[in-house]
Amino acid sequence: MTTLYVDNIAPNLQSKVSAPNLQLPSGSVLQVVESNMSGDGIFSTSSTGFVDVGLSASITPTSTSSKILVRFNAGGVSRSATANEALRLQIVRGATSIYGSANIIYSTSSTSFEDFCLAYEVLDSPSTTSATTYKIQMRTRTGNTCSMNTGSATNTFAVLTLMEIAG
């Protein structure tokens, strides 16, 4: 009889075992999806209702027990055409708001340009294995035009990152 001694076992990357059959501990990151925008004047609206800004990302969870960590980071310069105007953002899954914001940028004069850096993070439980889209929406407080990322193309950005976390 032969004895086999093993100090370490590593997965066979050539194996035909699919990822859903792989059991990772709860809290493990299963996949990461990222979408980004950069440049001058990438967000602008005068709407008092939330509208899409064009930044979205889609992920297909491998299990209904998975959670999706949604991160939104942006930086640049904001501008309003009038004083006492505010810009508001929200993160939505499909058509459902999962994170809403109060006034994030408030203009005190019509010539005011405000530097900003935003970082939002929310842990969502979509309870599905279907492709799920997350997106950023914005609106103004009173209906005057607000723009975000109105600086030079080299110092403005917006990034939406989705991370599937094992449940």
Query: Over its length of 167 residues, how does the chain's per-residue pLDDT go in tens digits?
Result: 788 777 777 666 565 555 555 677 899 999 999 998 876 556 778 899 999 988 899 999 999 999 999 999 887 666 666 667 777 889 999 999 998 876 666 666 666 666 667 788 999 999 999 999 999 998 888 887 777 665 555 556 789 999 999 98
d(CA 164, CA 62): 8
Phi and psi dihedrals of 147, rounded to 5? -125, 150
Distances in Å between the alpha carbon of 1 and those of 4, 18, 91, 160? 10, 34, 62, 57
